[in-house]
Amino acid sequence: MSESAPTREVARRVFADEFNDATFTFKESDDERAPLYSLLPTGAKANRVFLVGTLTETEDVGEDSEYWRGRVVDPTGTFFVYAGQYQPDAANALRELDTPAYVAIVGKPRAYETEDGTVNVSVRPESITEVDTATRDRWVVETAARTVERIEAFDEEGNEYARRAEEEYDLPLRRYTQAAIDALESLDEADGDDGSADARDEGVAESV
């Protein structure tokens, strides 16, 4: 492999509640081509994210050319995704998909500061794929686990991104633990009383 060949960053699983709080972005070098990272409040950097949720709404918000906005809801909140001419496959998916539909999206986080100083966070999708209920449920379980893992590692010595998150955000980690538990409980409600989701809840609760 050539030394100059780019390596793809891992796509982090993150719930909408935390993603929308991740308003601080940074680069780790002065190189113009250096990747842009979003700083997650639970103490990790994210150049790419992996999300699964319900695509509830799509709209072409472009003026001179098509620029599609999608609203994707998970158990904790809403992601907004935007795709235009430079993301043709994702834009086509937003154009063609019927709502509501479960979708899996891999993309890059973007933060935009408005004139009044508010920072809005969105996803620029690399891919959008329609998925089934089981895939959505697995994503919720795995994302809850990854969220709790980041929280458990937050106070570890040498966790530089956690220290940076402490400096940039004044947000209690407990809210993200609760969001993970709430997300699992939403599966309980969908599963009924078979007990399988109860066991998932207990596993997360015991970790915190």
Which structure tokens are listed for 6?
Answer: 């780019």
Does pLDDT of 69 surpass 80? Answer: yes
pLDDT at site 64:
87
CB 183 within 8 A of CB 74: yes
Tell which phi-psi region holds residue 42, choosing left (phi > 0), alpha (psi between -120 and 50) or beta. alpha
Q: What is the pLDDT of residues 71-93, one digit of tens each?
A: 999 999 999 999 999 999 999 99
Kindly state the average pLDDT of the residues 109-138. Answer: 95
DSSP state of 104: E
Please state which of the ranges 4-13, 62-71, 106-115, 163-172 shows the lowest mean pLDDT.
Answer: 4-13
CB 35 within 8 A of CB 170: no
pLDDT at site 192:
59
Q: What is the pLDDT of residues 133-186, one digit of tens each?
A: 999 999 999 999 999 999 999 999 999 999 999 999 999 999 999 999 999 999
Which structure tokens are listed for 2?
Answer: 């050539």
pLDDT at site 9:
83
pLDDT at site 190:
74
Domains of the chain (ranges; CATH) run 11-131 (2.40.50.140), 139-206 (no CATH)
Question: Three-class SS of residue 200?
Answer: helix
Which of 132, 128, 144, 129 lies closest to 199, judged by CA?
144
Q: What is the pLDDT of residues 192-202, one digit of tens each?
A: 544 444 444 44
Query: Cα separation of 40 and 17, whole Å?
Result: 11
What share of the chain in percent tops pLDDT 70?
88
CB 30 within 8 A of CB 20: no
pLDDT at site 163:
97
Structure confidence at residue 7 as a pLDDT band (50, 70, 90): low
For the chain, what's the residue count? 208
Kindly state the average pLDDT of the residues 105-109. Answer: 97
Does pLDDT of 36 surpass 50? Answer: yes
